Structure 1
């Protein structure tokens, strides 16, 4: 049984575009590579043919996985989200109580996470710890080297 994944409009479009690219560009390339290798003679001793077939198999597996992801994808209606507590697509300003450092993160679906742009997954330890918290509350997050405490300073929707 597969689980439902939630996406922003941008994330869902990116997923669809990548799937379309794999089907319309990469799949024909894989077929051409197999045909070219087949033309080179005896298939029983043709390593190039075996490699091309294996690459095609991996590509088809990736396509099938992405199709399953898309089938279980749900678009998040940002207008219906509660801004009083931390949810998916919340932009949260937090303060590390140990060192006083302030950070700002946007909680997104796992597939859209990108720490460089300040997007963290709701399934990450920090994301899980922040979910459901309100401004002024302290989130205790279990990380590999102990527990961190973050105070929720602000919750917005960007």
Structure 2
């Protein structure tokens, strides 16, 4: 059974587009590469053929994994979310109690995480620590070096 993951409409569209690209474009490229390698002669000593077959196997594995992710993907209904708690799609402004640095993160599903744009996974250590917190709460995040405490300053959508 596939694992349930929650996605925004944008994230779900990206997953579907990626799968379509792999199936429609990359699959035909892999088949073409195998055909070209096969035309070069004896398959028992043809490294190019072996490499093309291996690449095709890796592609099929990626397609299968993405199909599994999509099978368990659910669209998040933003109108049903509690605005007072940090949940998926919440934009949370936090302050590190140790050094006073403030950051803003948007909590998203694993497949949509992008630290450069401020999107962190709800399954990351910070994401797990923030889930369910309200403004004024202290989030304790367990990291390899110990525990980091963050003050939750603001939650928005």
The answer to whether the superposition gives a TM-score over 0.5 is: yes
Moved segments of 4+, more than 2 Å = none
Aligned position for 1:14: 14
1:77 aligns with 2:77: yes
**Secondary structure at 2:126's aligned position in 1?**
helix
1:43 aligns with 2:43: yes
Structure 2 portions without partners, runs of 5+:
none
TM-superposed CA distance for 1:2, in Å, is: 2.3
Aligned position for 1:26: 26
Residues 45-79 of structure 1: CA distance to partner in whole angstroms, max 9, x if unpaired?
Answer: 11111110010000001001101111110000111
Rounded Cα–Cα distance in structure 1 between residues aligned with 2:45 and 2:98: 63
Residues 92-150 of structure 1: CA distance to partner in whole angstroms, max 9, x if unpaired?
Answer: 01111111111100000011111110000000000000000111010111111111110
Aligned position for 2:118: 118
**Secondary structure at 1:133's aligned position in 2?**
coil
Aligned position for 1:57: 57
Rounded Cα–Cα distance in structure 1 between residues aligned with 2:18 and 2:110: 16
Rounded Cα–Cα distance in structure 1 between residues aligned with 2:47 and 2:100: 59
Structure 1 portions without partners, runs of 5+:
none
Cα-Cα RMSD: 0.7
Rounded Cα–Cα distance in structure 1 between residues aligned with 2:61 and 2:37: 21
